[in-house]
Amino acid sequence: DAGVTQSPTHLIKTRGQHVTLRCSPISGHKSVSWYQQVLGQGPQFIFQYYEKEERGRGNFPDRFSARQFPNYSSELNVNALLLGDSALYLCASSHQIRQGGPYEQYFGPGTRLTVT
Amino acid sequence: GNSVTQMEGPVTLSEEAFLTINCTYTATGYPSLFWYVQYPGEGLQLLLKATKADDKGSNKGFEATYRKETTSFHLEKGSVQVSDSAVYFCALGGSGNTGKLIFGQGTTLQVKP
């Protein structure tokens, strides 16, 4: 079975531009989460979507938005890019969510975004 | 709030040495605990997990035991290989009704032949 896929692999943008990152979850998985990983640090949670509804949001500005489609794929959008948005953006999928976990999530290879 | 603290790296070991990477956490409720590994240029791979106190997660020779009394989830391996060189992340998740994972800062392991 295919794992989590993300596109594009690498992206270079200029400050002030907009970017859209895409993610396809593992077949049968209904939950998609997005994380930002700055070089040398652990991933930081941005959003989680389950059954097309936002279920969690991290401490990121409103420039960051996301959505989930009927086929459970997802897009992460970032407006008005800043130099500090340069990072590896990771998508993770899981079969479901429920209180207590275990929230086993499977990560894609990531999209490397460079803002110049 | 919930948080995870890992021992700082890098950790440099010779092949076949014993590995311990310390991880402690702060959390309310009964979170699940995970170890993820990230090889150079790749995303994160789930290495092992534990969902309740005293559970031991294990995979590929790695082990970690969920210790509620010491709020720890230390990663161990009896004999490391060069191919184990990577960054290891301890993560906490499962509180409430979201799938949010909280990661430590990561520990780089370098194994020399």
What confidence tens digit (pLDDT) does each residue in A11-20 have?
999 999 999 9
- Distance from the Cα of A80 to chain B's closest Cα (Å) equals 25
User: At A99, which amino acid appears?
Assistant: Q
Q: What percent of chain A is modeled with pLDDT above 70?
A: 92
CA dist., res. A105 & res. B51, Å (int): 13
Closest partner CB to B99 (pick from A40, A43, A103): A103
Pairing of strands A64-68, A87-94: unpaired
Kindly list the residues from chain A whose CB atom is less than 8 angstroms away from the CB atom of residue B34: 104
User: At A72, which amino acid appears?
Assistant: Y
Sheet of strand A74-78: strand arrangement:
A5-7, A19-24, A74-78, A64-68
Q: What percent of chain B is modeled with pLDDT above 70?
A: 96
Closest partner CB to B98 (pick from A35, A97, A108): A97
Nearest-CA residue of chain A relative to B41? A109
From the list B26, B6, B23, the residue with the least C-alpha distance to B72 is B23
Stretch A68-76: mean pLDDT = 96
CA distances to A57, A59, A98, A114, B11 from B33, in Å = 20, 22, 15, 31, 22
Residue B1 above 90 pLDDT? no
Structure tokens at B40: 């150079």
Kindly list the residues from chain A whose CB atom is less than 8 angstroms away from the CB atom of residue B48: none
Q: What percent of chain A is modeled with pLDDT above 90?
A: 79
Q: Quick one: pLDDT band at residue B2, thresholds 50, 70, 90?
A: confident
Q: Quick one: pLDDT band at residue B84, thresholds 50, 70, 90?
A: very high
